[in-house]
């Protein structure tokens, strides 16, 4: 008889004491190569109320488009000062902030380049599983041909695109449900 799987259970609200460490919101060091950006946003529920106990994780390629992972065997440069993973908790107003770089394009299906993007996981009280989305960049020409972005209805793609607040600072809000709900992927 195969072992029974443990059913999903709500994640959180224990992120801050258990999983959040100071400095995890910064993916960069002074030596990291690439265009520095700050990503700021909020996590909002279906009533547009702030989610004050969510945790957001980022995973991204470096400025050359290579992940710091053994499965990425591209002949692109690895940046020893960039590992591509970050984690942040939301504050009492649902706000979060990351300091990172704009990633380079990575190969996708049929080895076609994907638009630069950042993979995002959201964990929050009441969710049985993490939510997964991507952050794309408004000024990126490869958005038009990106295989993943093209699977999303055109009228919903804007929920995955970070908007420029001011030079070097991008805005990306996560709406968990309802009007303007962020596009999430099954994983």
The per-residue pLDDT for range 70-120, each reduced to its tens digit, is 999 999 999 999 999 999 999 999 999 999 999 999 999 888 999 999 999
> What is the CA angle 140-82-119, rounded to 5?
45
Upstream peptide bond of 185 is cis (omega within 30 degrees of 0): no
> Contact 155/86 with Cβ under 8 angstroms?
no
Looking at per-residue pLDDT, the higher value among 170 and 53 belongs to: 170
- Which among 101, 81, 104 is positioned nearest to 32, based on CA atoms? 81
Tokens, residue 147: 């295989």
Q: How many CB atoms lie within 10 A of CB 137?
A: 19
> Contact 146/134 with Cβ under 8 angstroms?
no
**Residues 7-22: tens digit of each pLDDT:** 766 665 666 777 878 8
* Global pTM value: 0.91
């Amino acid at each position: 008889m195969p072992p029974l799987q443990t059913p999903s259970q709500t994640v959180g609200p224990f992120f801050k004491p258990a999983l959040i460490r100071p400095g995890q919101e910064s993916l960069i060091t002074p030596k990291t190569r690439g265009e520095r950006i700050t990503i700021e946003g909020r996590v909002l529920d279906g009533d547009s109320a702030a989610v004050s106990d969510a945790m957001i994780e980022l995973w991204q390629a470096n400025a050359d488009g290579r992940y710091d992972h053994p499965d990425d065997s591209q002949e692109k440069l690895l940046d020893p000062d960039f590992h591509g993973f970050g984690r942040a908790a939301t504050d009492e107003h649902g706000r979060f902030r990351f300091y990172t770089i704009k990633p380079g394009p990575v190969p996708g299906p049929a080895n076609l380049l994907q638009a630069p993007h950042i993979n995002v996981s959201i964990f929050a009280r009441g969710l049985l599983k993490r939510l997964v989305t991507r952050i794309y960049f408004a000024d990126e020409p490869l958005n038009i041909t990106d295989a993943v972005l093209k699977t999303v209805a055109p009228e919903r793609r804007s929920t995955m695109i970070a908007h420029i607040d001011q030079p070097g600072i991008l805005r990306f809000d996560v709406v968990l449900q309802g009007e303007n709900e962020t596009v999430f992927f099954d994983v």
